[in-house]
A and B are shown apart, each in its own frame.
Chain A
Amino acid sequence: MSWGPLALSLQVALAATALATALGVVLAGVLARARFPGSDLLDALVTAPLVLPPTVLGYALLQVVGRESVLGRAWESLTGSSLVFSRSAAVLAATVAALPLVVRSARAAMEAVDPALLGAAATLGASPPRVFLTVTLPLSRAGVLAGVTLGFARALGEFGVTLMLAGNIPGLTQTGALAIYDAVQANRDAEALGLAAVMAAVGVAAVYVGTKLGRRRVHGA
């Protein structure tokens, strides 16, 4: 059994988790507090990857970042190569898949923070960004971490969107999930079993840890 696809899965999932966390925490903060025109639509867009068929999502992303699109061209002129069918595309696919899990968990935790604490911080002279960083985020830490862990597990298992956007190129974009598919197709049962067992173990462990974190209360709260 080759460890290459698993290592690639790990690498892609870690990068995607970092991106989804940075973006997801900010989005959750905005959605948790602000009511503005289009906030429900933004919520729906962020959540959509949880329910859309991966093919639909992959197709949509191809339209947005494909070689003929504005973003795709911008990427190509910046980096000198196409975004689609690259490792970056695999990271993008996994990020989009992980994002809703980060946002939903973080947002629920942030909404549970007592508004009086936010009001107290504001009257003590804290600007909205400082209130977010020093009150909202520390008090919703457990929920944010739970979302990040679940998002990591989701990124690790990403299959459909990756296939559409990044392809199934051994050594470049063939992650563990894709390698299992290939191994089954080619009757390499032992390899499929090995890959599947490792990925299942890592995934279950991540979900277990994430769920534990989600239940934990912040000390003193």
Chain B
Amino acid sequence: MAREGGALAVRVRVAGPTAERPRVDVDVSFGVGLTAVMGPSGAGKTSLLLAIAGLVRPLAGRITLGGSVLFDGSGSWVPPHRRRMALVFQHLALFPHLTAWQNVAYGVPRRSDGRDRAREWLARTRVAHVAERLPSTLSGGEAQRVALARALAAEPGALLLDEPFSSLDGRLRLALGDELKDLVEALQIPAVLVTHHLEDAQRLAARVVELEAGRLRSERPEGA
């Protein structure tokens, strides 16, 4: 599937409780492949993802994907539905009134292809068998895979993942992490993985950046 590749460059300041202490104030670039964002609770990891997706409006800065400007503090603003940023929420946010395949078909750019693309992506994420089921009947791992299929079926220019494996344990987390890594490598898009697990971050990501109190603390290369 052809996609215009391109790095995601993010320089943003997001409002916090006080003007002196913004929730996020970073200048960071995410290349093609998986980058992990780590940091303690309240460090601004989720706020950073929401700002990139366009669900929170930064106070200032600039966000670009490949050649296109998504946000510029001087006035340019692309609304979330035109950003092609797929966001996998921590609690997945699957539509409870739609079946698994309808969830995945929701974001398929050509709606007439929705059903076919949904089946393909459910197969690629190994949950083809749950296509007709409602999210409330899925196990944690199945729901996780459906959410990933839904995000990727939208043919995003970048993938944002907010602690996608937080509700899964041990082996399943490892397996899903590896599958995610393979998919992102095949698609050649930037993917930002917010996680608490240093182990996940180091195993899956080409790069790990750390946020603390809204600011970039350090960067370490893989395996450091």
Interface residues of A, Cβ cutoff 8 Å to B: 114, 116-117, 119-128, 131, 134-135, 138-139, 218-221
Q: Which of A116, A218, A220 contacts B93 (CB 8 A)?
A: A116
A139 touches B96 (CB 8 A): yes
Contact of A135 among B50, B81, B95 (CB under 8 A): B95
Residue of A nearest to B109 (CB): A125
Q: Which residues of B contact A121 (CB under 8 A)?
A: 95, 106
Contact A123 B81 (CB under 8 A): yes
Question: Closest residue of chain A to B133, judged by CB?
Answer: A220
Does B24 reach chain A (CB closer than 8 Å)? no
A11 to chain B, nearest CB (A): 34
Residues of B contacting A220 with CB < 8 Å?
96-97, 134-137
A218 to chain B: which residues have CB within 8 Å?
Answer: 96-97
B contacts, CB < 8 Å to A: 50, 53-55, 79-87, 89, 91, 93, 95-97, 106-107, 109, 134-137, 150-151, 154
B residues near A134, Cβ cutoff 8 Å: 106
CB distance from B137 to the nearest CB of A (A): 8
Residues of the B chain whose Cβ atoms lie less than 8 Å from the Cβ of A119: 50, 53, 55, 80, 87, 89, 93
Q: Check B134–A125 contact: CB distance below 8 A.
A: no
Q: Inside 8 A of B95's CB, which chain A residues have their CB? A: 117, 120-121, 135
- Chain A residue nearest in CB terms to B162: A116
Contact of B83 among A116, A117, A120, A123 (CB under 8 A): A123
A120's partner among B54, B89, B109, B137 (CB-CB below 8 A) is B89
Complex partner residue of A124 from B50, B86, B137, CB under 8 angstroms: B86
Pairwise interchain contact A123-B86, C-beta atoms closer than 8 A: yes
A122 to chain B: which residues have CB within 8 Å?
54-55, 79-81
CA gap between A123 and B50 in the complex, in Å = 10
